[in-house]
Structure 1
Amino acid sequence: MKRTRPVLSVLVATVLTAGAFTALTSEAAAAPQGRACLFLDKQGAAFKGTAYGHVAWAIRDPKNRNHWIWGATENAEGDAYTKPGRNNGTWIQGGTWRQMRGEDQGKRALSLGRYDAYRCINTAGGDLAGAQRTYKQMRDNGYAIFTNNCLTKSIGIFRKYSPALSTAHLPTGYVSSPNYYFYAVLNKARGWERASSY
């Protein structure tokens, strides 16, 4: 009897420790995780025989991994400059990843027929409301081909969504074509996954 007591104590302690470890593991697994993705249309923004590319963006709700918000700036007037307040072709949608791809109907999609590739980065969390406020600012602040375009607006939305996306993770996109930024710049930035076919 005396020998079973220490053994029993060790077993109880082991079970309690295992339970605590399981609780910590499941808590870590359930921790909020955001995700930001950039989508590339390689043939977008063609000018004098050269395609400079076009990008769209998507961010995931860190509290609901099946919910995304996505959008793009399409340069509705087709000029190098659009005055603030005029239609610059900026739009937004929300739904599932399948809806974003157009596999489920009912949402404006990032068309599989248009976009060639995408790449993503995980974040510790994500501020959807802040990103949506920034989207509204971007929608209303016009368009400028080098400094206020589909790429710079996407970067602005990403940074508001996750302030942790500093310049090391998300370099500025001024005077950088979307095609060059998507591959050359993000290849050197921290945390971005490799480009995948869309």
Structure 2
Amino acid sequence: MRMYGCRAVRATAPVLGALALLGTGAVTAPLAAQAAPLGRVCMFEAPRGAYGAGHAAFAVKGRGEANHWIYGSFGSTNDVPKAGWIKGGTWANVRSRFISVRDQDHKNARYYTRYRCVNTRDGNIKRAQSWYSTVKNRGYNLHTNNCLHMSMAVFKGYSEVLRKDTRLKSTTNWSPNNYYRDVLPAAHWEKSHSL
């Protein structure tokens, strides 16, 4: 029997069990109350782009929104897709857009063929859009402001967690294909998915 205030209350076994779990920290609150909505980012890749160096594009999910993404790409006027573009929509829109881009240099085959994603515990879609504009306004430069630089700038603008992740190396001197293949898995991004 336990004393609560001025009266004695007999605790039942289920109540005692719950109190024991609560006391050890095993149960602190209902799962729905604990889980904050996650952010999510995905890098889309065109392995044959840029004459075999690859081409990167981005998608970021509105944190706390069920199914709203912004997505886009940045490239030179000599590459597909031309210059840069950004759109908003559902995950189905994201996939459809990247599937529909064709490779003019390789018999009109699908340009983007794969993607990798990672969840973040933070994410700000407006900051991602702002970084897209900032990087695009700098103009394309093969060595200092290409599709990979821009995609990573959008991801790191979106998420402070990603910005501080030292496993996400500087994009300088990395081709999109090598960064996608070597750096993202080392930073614990999900396995590569085919489009």
TM-score normalised per structure 2: 0.78
Deviation at 1:100, TM superposition (A): 1.0
One-letter identity of the residue aligned with 2:147: C
Identical columns (%): 36
Cα RMSD (Å): 2.5
- Structure 2 counterparts to residues 138-177 of structure 1, below 5 A: 138-165=135-162, 166-177=164-175
- Structure 2 counterparts to residues 58-97 of structure 1, below 5 A: 58-76=59-77, 78=78, 89-97=83-91
Q: Using the alignment, how far apart are the partners of 1:141 and 1:17 within structure 2?
A: 59
Gaps of 5+ in 1: 80-87, 103-108
Deviation at 1:139, TM superposition (A): 1.8
Gaps of 5+ in 2: 1-8, 101-109
Write the deviation string for residues 44-98 of structure 1: whole angstroms up to 9, x where unpaired.
Answer: 011xxxx11101101111111311110000212x28xxxxxxxx71211111010
Aligned residues: 172
1:127 to 118, 124, 127: 124
Q: Using the alignment, how far apart are the partners of 1:133 and 1:17 within structure 2?
A: 49
Q: Using the alignment, how far apart are the partners of 1:68 and 1:17 within structure 2?
A: 43
- Structure 1 stretches of 4+ with a deviation exceeding 3 A read 10-19
Matched position secondary structure for 1:125: coil
- Structure 2 counterparts to residues 5-154 of structure 1, below 5 A: 6-8=10-12, 10-11=13-14, 21=27, 23-29=29-35, 31-46=36-51, 51-76=52-77, 78=78, 89-102=83-96, 109-111=97-99, 113-154=110-151
8 Å Cα contact 2:75/2:140 also seen in 1 = no
TM-score normalised per structure 1: 0.77
Matched position secondary structure for 1:192: coil
One-letter identity of the residue aligned with 1:99: N
One-letter identity of the residue aligned with 2:176: P
Deviation at 1:141, TM superposition (A): 0.8
